[in-house]
Copies of this chain bind each other. A is one copy, B any other.
Amino acid sequence: MDSVDLAATRLSEVRSKGTRALDAEAFRSNLEKNSRCYSAGHQLAFEGDNGAPVLWVLKGWLALSKSLSDGQTQIIDFILPRDIALPGAADGLTAAFQVEALTDVEVASLSQHEWDRIKQACPDVQGLAVNLAAAAQARMSERMLRLGKGSAPMRIAYALLELSVRLKSIGEMEGDFIHLPLTQQQLGDFTGLSSVHVCRTLRRLVRNGVITTVDHRDIRIRDIAALSEMAGIDVGRLAHEISPVAA
Protein backbone atom coordinates (compact mmCIF):
# COMPACT_ATOMS: atom_id res chain seq x y z
CA MET A 1 0.00 0.00 0.00
CA ASP A 2 1.67 3.21 -1.07
CA SER A 3 1.29 6.39 0.90
CA VAL A 4 -1.41 8.02 -1.15
CA ASP A 5 -3.46 4.88 -0.80
CA LEU A 6 -2.98 5.17 2.92
CA ALA A 7 -4.60 8.56 2.93
CA ALA A 8 -7.30 7.39 0.58
CA THR A 9 -8.05 4.52 2.90
CA ARG A 10 -8.70 6.83 5.78
CA LEU A 11 -10.78 8.97 3.46
CA SER A 12 -12.95 6.07 2.44
CA GLU A 13 -13.53 5.21 6.07
CA VAL A 14 -14.89 8.68 6.60
CA ARG A 15 -16.89 8.62 3.41
CA SER A 16 -19.12 5.93 4.90
CA LYS A 17 -22.14 8.17 4.58
CA GLY A 18 -21.75 8.09 0.82
CA THR A 19 -20.80 11.41 -0.72
CA ARG A 20 -19.29 12.14 -4.08
CA ALA A 21 -16.31 10.11 -5.16
CA LEU A 22 -15.17 12.88 -7.47
CA ASP A 23 -14.26 14.99 -4.47
CA ALA A 24 -11.98 12.29 -3.28
CA GLU A 25 -10.35 12.16 -6.70
CA ALA A 26 -9.78 15.88 -6.79
CA PHE A 27 -8.39 15.72 -3.33
CA ARG A 28 -6.11 12.81 -4.09
CA SER A 29 -4.63 14.47 -7.11
CA ASN A 30 -4.06 17.56 -5.05
CA LEU A 31 -2.29 15.55 -2.42
CA GLU A 32 -0.13 13.79 -4.96
CA LYS A 33 0.75 17.04 -6.63
CA ASN A 34 1.87 18.58 -3.37
CA SER A 35 3.53 15.73 -1.58
CA ARG A 36 7.23 15.91 -0.80
CA CYS A 37 9.72 13.81 1.07
CA TYR A 38 12.05 15.00 3.78
CA SER A 39 14.62 13.04 5.69
CA ALA A 40 14.77 12.49 9.44
CA GLY A 41 15.85 15.57 11.32
CA HIS A 42 14.66 18.02 8.69
CA GLN A 43 13.00 21.14 10.05
CA LEU A 44 9.83 21.80 8.08
CA ALA A 45 8.96 25.01 9.87
CA PHE A 46 9.93 27.21 12.77
CA GLU A 47 7.88 28.91 15.43
CA GLY A 48 6.81 32.31 14.22
CA ASP A 49 7.29 31.52 10.53
CA ASN A 50 4.95 33.30 8.19
CA GLY A 51 2.41 31.55 6.05
CA ALA A 52 2.10 28.34 8.03
CA PRO A 53 1.00 25.60 5.65
CA VAL A 54 -1.27 22.70 6.46
CA LEU A 55 0.69 19.45 6.54
CA TRP A 56 -0.89 16.15 5.65
CA VAL A 57 1.42 13.35 6.69
CA LEU A 58 1.42 10.37 4.37
CA LYS A 59 4.38 8.55 5.84
CA GLY A 60 6.59 8.97 8.90
CA TRP A 61 6.45 11.00 12.10
CA LEU A 62 6.51 14.72 12.72
CA ALA A 63 6.99 16.46 16.05
CA LEU A 64 5.31 19.76 16.82
CA SER A 65 7.27 21.58 19.48
CA LYS A 66 7.64 24.90 21.22
CA SER A 67 10.67 26.29 23.01
CA LEU A 68 11.48 28.72 25.75
CA SER A 69 14.15 31.34 25.30
CA ASP A 70 16.64 29.25 27.29
CA GLY A 71 16.31 26.48 24.73
CA GLN A 72 14.11 24.17 26.78
CA THR A 73 11.78 22.42 24.36
CA GLN A 74 8.38 20.86 24.83
CA ILE A 75 6.99 18.52 22.22
CA ILE A 76 3.33 19.44 21.99
CA ASP A 77 2.23 16.57 19.79
CA PHE A 78 3.39 13.89 17.43
CA ILE A 79 1.85 13.79 13.97
CA LEU A 80 1.62 10.26 12.65
CA PRO A 81 0.74 8.95 9.20
CA ARG A 82 -2.76 9.95 8.07
CA ASP A 83 -2.79 12.86 10.50
CA ILE A 84 -3.07 16.47 9.52
CA ALA A 85 -0.94 19.07 11.25
CA LEU A 86 -2.35 22.57 11.50
CA PRO A 87 0.68 24.41 12.82
CA GLY A 88 -0.96 27.80 12.49
CA ALA A 89 -1.64 30.14 15.37
CA ALA A 90 -5.05 31.70 15.85
CA ASP A 91 -4.13 34.62 13.62
CA GLY A 92 -3.76 32.19 10.73
CA LEU A 93 -0.58 33.92 9.68
CA THR A 94 2.27 32.58 11.73
CA ALA A 95 3.31 29.11 12.83
CA ALA A 96 2.70 28.33 16.48
CA PHE A 97 5.06 25.38 16.42
CA GLN A 98 8.37 24.21 15.21
CA VAL A 99 7.84 21.20 12.94
CA GLU A 100 10.53 18.55 12.72
CA ALA A 101 10.67 15.27 10.85
CA LEU A 102 11.50 12.48 13.30
CA THR A 103 11.82 9.90 10.56
CA ASP A 104 11.99 10.12 6.82
CA VAL A 105 8.59 11.51 5.97
CA GLU A 106 6.31 12.05 3.02
CA VAL A 107 4.14 15.09 3.53
CA ALA A 108 1.61 16.94 1.42
CA SER A 109 1.93 20.62 2.13
CA LEU A 110 -1.06 22.85 1.45
CA SER A 111 -1.34 26.61 1.78
CA GLN A 112 -4.21 27.96 3.87
CA HIS A 113 -5.91 28.89 0.65
CA GLU A 114 -5.57 25.45 -0.94
CA TRP A 115 -6.70 23.91 2.33
CA ASP A 116 -9.84 26.04 2.43
CA ARG A 117 -10.56 25.18 -1.17
CA ILE A 118 -10.19 21.46 -0.55
CA LYS A 119 -12.41 21.60 2.49
CA GLN A 120 -15.07 23.38 0.46
CA ALA A 121 -14.84 21.00 -2.44
CA CYS A 122 -14.73 17.87 -0.37
CA PRO A 123 -16.95 17.68 2.71
CA ASP A 124 -15.30 14.40 3.62
CA VAL A 125 -12.05 16.19 4.18
CA GLN A 126 -13.80 18.80 6.26
CA GLY A 127 -15.29 16.10 8.44
CA LEU A 128 -12.01 14.26 8.69
CA ALA A 129 -10.28 17.44 9.78
CA VAL A 130 -12.84 18.02 12.50
CA ASN A 131 -12.43 14.45 13.75
CA LEU A 132 -8.67 14.63 13.73
CA ALA A 133 -8.74 17.94 15.57
CA ALA A 134 -11.03 16.51 18.23
CA ALA A 135 -8.72 13.55 18.67
CA ALA A 136 -5.70 15.83 18.94
CA GLN A 137 -7.41 17.93 21.56
CA ALA A 138 -8.44 14.87 23.54
CA ARG A 139 -4.95 13.42 23.68
CA MET A 140 -3.41 16.79 24.48
CA SER A 141 -5.82 17.11 27.38
CA GLU A 142 -4.87 13.72 28.76
CA ARG A 143 -1.24 14.73 28.56
CA MET A 144 -1.84 18.09 30.19
CA LEU A 145 -3.50 16.34 33.11
CA ARG A 146 -0.42 14.19 33.61
CA LEU A 147 1.99 17.01 32.91
CA GLY A 148 0.37 19.08 35.62
CA LYS A 149 -0.48 16.44 38.18
CA GLY A 150 1.16 13.14 37.33
CA SER A 151 4.41 11.52 38.44
CA ALA A 152 7.22 10.59 36.08
CA PRO A 153 6.19 6.92 35.84
CA MET A 154 2.63 7.98 35.06
CA ARG A 155 3.75 10.31 32.30
CA ILE A 156 6.01 7.71 30.71
CA ALA A 157 3.39 4.98 30.98
CA TYR A 158 0.78 7.23 29.46
CA ALA A 159 3.06 8.26 26.61
CA LEU A 160 3.77 4.64 25.75
CA LEU A 161 0.09 3.76 25.84
CA GLU A 162 -1.02 6.77 23.85
CA LEU A 163 1.49 6.00 21.14
CA SER A 164 0.65 2.32 21.12
CA VAL A 165 -3.04 3.12 20.72
CA ARG A 166 -2.34 5.51 17.90
CA LEU A 167 0.04 3.15 16.15
CA LYS A 168 -2.40 0.31 16.45
CA SER A 169 -5.19 2.39 14.93
CA ILE A 170 -3.12 2.97 11.79
CA GLY A 171 -1.92 -0.60 11.63
CA GLU A 172 1.68 0.19 12.48
CA MET A 173 1.91 -1.84 15.64
CA GLU A 174 3.30 -5.32 15.34
CA GLY A 175 1.93 -7.44 18.14
CA ASP A 176 2.94 -5.82 21.39
CA PHE A 177 5.96 -4.05 19.94
CA ILE A 178 6.07 -0.34 19.36
CA HIS A 179 8.84 1.34 17.46
CA LEU A 180 9.48 4.83 18.75
CA PRO A 181 11.74 6.92 16.52
CA LEU A 182 12.73 8.99 19.55
CA THR A 183 15.76 9.64 21.66
CA GLN A 184 15.26 9.69 25.42
CA GLN A 185 15.84 13.41 25.19
CA GLN A 186 12.84 13.70 22.86
CA LEU A 187 10.74 11.44 25.03
CA GLY A 188 11.65 13.78 27.88
CA ASP A 189 10.66 16.81 25.84
CA PHE A 190 7.35 15.10 25.26
CA THR A 191 6.70 14.12 28.87
CA GLY A 192 8.22 17.15 30.56
CA LEU A 193 11.09 15.17 32.10
CA SER A 194 14.85 15.30 31.79
CA SER A 195 16.45 12.67 29.59
CA VAL A 196 18.21 11.28 32.63
CA HIS A 197 14.97 10.74 34.43
CA VAL A 198 13.36 9.19 31.35
CA CYS A 199 16.19 6.70 31.33
CA ARG A 200 15.83 5.85 35.00
CA THR A 201 12.09 5.48 34.68
CA LEU A 202 12.31 3.23 31.65
CA ARG A 203 14.97 1.11 33.38
CA ARG A 204 12.66 0.67 36.33
CA LEU A 205 9.84 -0.45 34.02
CA VAL A 206 12.17 -2.98 32.48
CA ARG A 207 13.36 -4.19 35.89
CA ASN A 208 9.76 -4.70 36.96
CA GLY A 209 8.99 -6.72 33.86
CA VAL A 210 6.44 -4.23 32.53
CA ILE A 211 8.28 -3.63 29.28
CA THR A 212 11.38 -4.82 27.53
CA THR A 213 13.50 -2.75 25.21
CA VAL A 214 15.45 -3.71 22.15
CA ASP A 215 17.86 -1.36 20.56
CA HIS A 216 16.64 1.59 22.69
CA ARG A 217 13.87 2.27 20.20
CA ASP A 218 11.73 -0.82 20.05
CA ILE A 219 9.67 -1.36 23.13
CA ARG A 220 7.69 -4.45 23.93
CA ILE A 221 4.80 -4.07 26.30
CA ARG A 222 4.80 -7.17 28.49
CA ASP A 223 2.30 -6.18 31.15
CA ILE A 224 -0.25 -3.83 29.72
CA ALA A 225 -2.41 -4.02 32.83
CA ALA A 226 0.40 -2.73 35.01
CA LEU A 227 1.21 -0.05 32.48
CA SER A 228 -2.44 1.06 32.31
CA GLU A 229 -2.69 1.27 36.03
CA MET A 230 0.49 3.25 36.20
CA ALA A 231 -0.82 5.62 33.54
CA GLY A 232 -4.15 5.92 35.32
CA ILE A 233 -6.15 5.04 32.25
CA ASP A 234 -8.21 2.23 30.80
CA VAL A 235 -6.73 1.40 27.41
CA GLY A 236 -10.09 0.67 25.82
CA ARG A 237 -11.52 3.97 26.95
CA LEU A 238 -8.41 5.78 25.84
CA ALA A 239 -8.70 4.32 22.37
CA HIS A 240 -12.25 5.64 22.13
CA GLU A 241 -11.34 9.05 23.43
CA ILE A 242 -8.31 9.77 21.29
CA SER A 243 -8.99 7.84 18.09
CA PRO A 244 -10.70 9.72 15.30
CA VAL A 245 -13.41 7.86 13.42
CA ALA A 246 -13.83 5.15 15.98
CA ALA A 247 -16.86 3.95 14.07
In this complex, what residue of B is CB-closest to A149? B72
Is A149 a contact partner of B246 (Cβ separation < 8 A)?
no
**A41 nearest CB across to chain B (Å):** 21
Is A140 a contact partner of B138 (Cβ separation < 8 A)?
no
Is B145 a contact partner of A66 (Cβ separation < 8 A)?
yes
Q: A73-B149, A90-B243, A91-B246 are in contact. Are A144 and B140 (CB under 8 A)?
A: yes
Is A97 a contact partner of B134 (Cβ separation < 8 A)?
no
Identify A145's interface contact among B68, B133, B137, CB under 8 A: B68
**A185 nearest CB across to chain B (Å):** 13
Q: Which of A23-66 contact B (CB under 8 A)?
A: 48, 66
Is B144 a contact partner of A240 (Cβ separation < 8 A)?
no
Is A149 a contact partner of B68 (Cβ separation < 8 A)?
yes
Is B135 a contact partner of A90 (Cβ separation < 8 A)?
yes
